[in-house]
Amino acid sequence: MELLFDNIDQPGLNTLEVYRRDRGGYEMLAKALEMEPADVLAQLQASGLRGRGGAGFAMGTKASFLPQGDMDKYVVCNADESEPGTFKDRELMQKNPHLLIEGLAIAAHAVGANKAFIFIRGEYAYVATIVETALEEAKAANLLGTLDLWVHRGAGAYICGEETALLDALEGKRGNPRLKPPFPAVQGLYKGPTLINNVETLMNAPIILRMGGEEYAKIGTARSTGTKIVSVSGCVERPGNYEIVLGTPTREIIYDLAGGPLDGKKIKCFFPGGSSAPVLPGTDEYLDVPYDFDSMAKAGSMIGSGAIIVVDEDVSIVQLALKTAKFYRHESCGKCTPCREGTNWTVKMLERIDGGEATPMDLDIMASVCDQIMGNCLCVLGDSMAMPIGTMIKHFRAEFETHIDEARERAGLGAANPQYNRDEYAGPTPALT
């Protein structure tokens, strides 16, 4: 079933003319503007649409948190898609920018906002140009009513995908996350109530109005309604964006849609939802997990932004962990100590493992560092490193230990002495031989 990706490659779909002629463009906005805001909100709530950016919070509920009244309210579209492995919003915005503008205008009407911004990451320069052109067309055709909508380009920082850091960046500051609460719905951009939604979430709004909220809720599973664009990348034959109905088995996405791993190799592990998601081993138990919010959470991971990164058996888990940790070290904004120091020390420990200076006890220290980052910062960037690194150690401890031994041999330091766990919560006890 294709809702967002329906004939996405149609030539000229990014122009207002084709969008209005073939897709009934802006009809739903006109319909929404005739409805009471509360009725639009009720439709969104009835659809059960959950945020597609990562957290999976119900969009209608989030919108209903904004206070009623005539104060200045804002809608911000989070198009700062920086999660490694995610590229769905780029393709959606590039090929169908008017759907985003229409969805944004509908959301703005539902919450009573008259000022809106699309925050696009600076690297997406050509996509931003396409969206800007579409926006000018829509403004020239006088379709947006009283809504004042602008495209704002970022300048390259992963942290700006976090909603409060995005607001700081949009206010012209360094992108540092804020303390929550107050949540943006109460006090966000310029201290006004602000609704922040991902591109894909907003694009679903016109579709929901067309189908009716209750009809939309019938797609997918009971608590994960609708379709989802999944970005599959890494060691697969056909990397790309695929639209699936939520609840499709993960195996079907990786093998049937994306063609499975290269050269018929085995899957070692995969990130189910971008590099921030805990990794799952490529065993049947995990490949058969239905791809929806709750099933993935039950399996110990999350669907996050919907980016599956497949890692095949030839990849060294230590190199993968190092790459992941280095990314988070680079992108940590430095505001909270556990994240700033924790990401840095994790990289240092992984480099020691790689260089042959480590002992298996370093794995326990690393696991405890991850444990102490979790939940102790203003935002989840630190947790986003701790979760994949922690699960890599959990699932592939034997490989880490072999790597440590081999690297020690190479460095001429000799085998490490067997180490006992000194910390009770620091992962499973290694087998002594």
Q: Residue 326 or residue 394: which is nearer to other proteins going by CB?
A: 326
Which of 331, 362, 364, 383 is in the footprint of other proteins by CB under 8 A? 331
Q: Residue 3 or residue 232: which is nearer to other proteins going by CB?
A: 232
# of chain residues touching other proteins (CB under 8 A): 66
Report, in Å, the least distance between residue 154 CB and other proteins: 7
- Cβ-Cβ contacts under 8 Å for 84 (sequence gap 6 or more): 274, 275, 307, 309, 327
Per CB under 8 A, 112 contacts other proteins: no
Cβ atoms 382, 324 nearer than 8 A: no
Q: Binding to other proteins (CB under 8 A): which residues in 118-157?
A: 121-126, 150, 152-157
Per CB under 8 A, 19 contacts other proteins: no
Per CB under 8 A, 53 contacts other proteins: no
Per CB under 8 A, 231 contacts other proteins: yes
b/e burial code for range 270-280 (CB count within 10 A of at least 16 → b): bbbbbbbbbbb
Q: Residue 327 or residue 345: which is nearer to other proteins going by CB?
A: 327
Per CB under 8 A, 379 contacts other proteins: no
Per CB under 8 A, 180 contacts other proteins: no
- Residue 268 amino acid letter: K
Which of 190, 375, 409, 410 is in the footprint of other proteins by CB under 8 A? 190
Per CB under 8 A, 91 contacts other proteins: yes
∠ CA 38-246-15, rounded to 5°: 65
Per CB under 8 A, 301 contacts other proteins: no
DSSP string, 35-88: S-HHHHHHHHHHHTPBPSSSS--BHHHHHHTSPPSSS--EEEEEE---STT--H
Report, in Å, the least distance between residue 34 CB and other proteins: 28
Cβ atoms 41, 110 nearer than 8 A: yes
Per CB under 8 A, 280 contacts other proteins: no
Q: Which of the ranges 237-245, 293-301, 376-384, 397-405 carries the binding residues for other proteins, by CB under 8 A?
A: 237-245
- Cβ-Cβ contacts under 8 Å for 122 (sequence gap 6 or more): 153, 154, 155, 156
Q: What are 413's two structure tokens?
A: 């330091």
Phi, psi of 11 (to 5 degrees): -60, 140
Which of 204, 324, 343, 384 is in the footprint of other proteins by CB under 8 A? 324
Which of 19, 87, 216, 400 is in the footprint of other proteins by CB under 8 A? 87
Per CB under 8 A, 8 contacts other proteins: yes
Q: Residue 60 or residue 193: which is nearer to other proteins going by CB?
A: 193
Report, in Å, the least distance between residue 348 CB and other proteins: 12
Cα separation, 259 vs 164, whole angstroms: 38
Which of 25, 51, 84, 188 is in the footprint of other proteins by CB under 8 A? 84
Cα separation, 161 vs 199, whole angstroms: 12
Tokens 């110990």 appear where?
300
Q: What are 228's two structure tokens?
A: 């989802």
In which element (H, E) is residue 395 found? Answer: helix 381-395
Cα separation, 40 vs 335, whole angstroms: 39
Site residues for other proteins per CB under 8 A: 5, 8-9, 72, 81-87, 89-91, 94-95, 115, 121-126, 150, 152-158, 169-175, 190, 231-235, 238-242, 257-258, 271, 275, 307, 309, 311, 315, 320, 323-324, 327, 330-331, 333, 357, 413
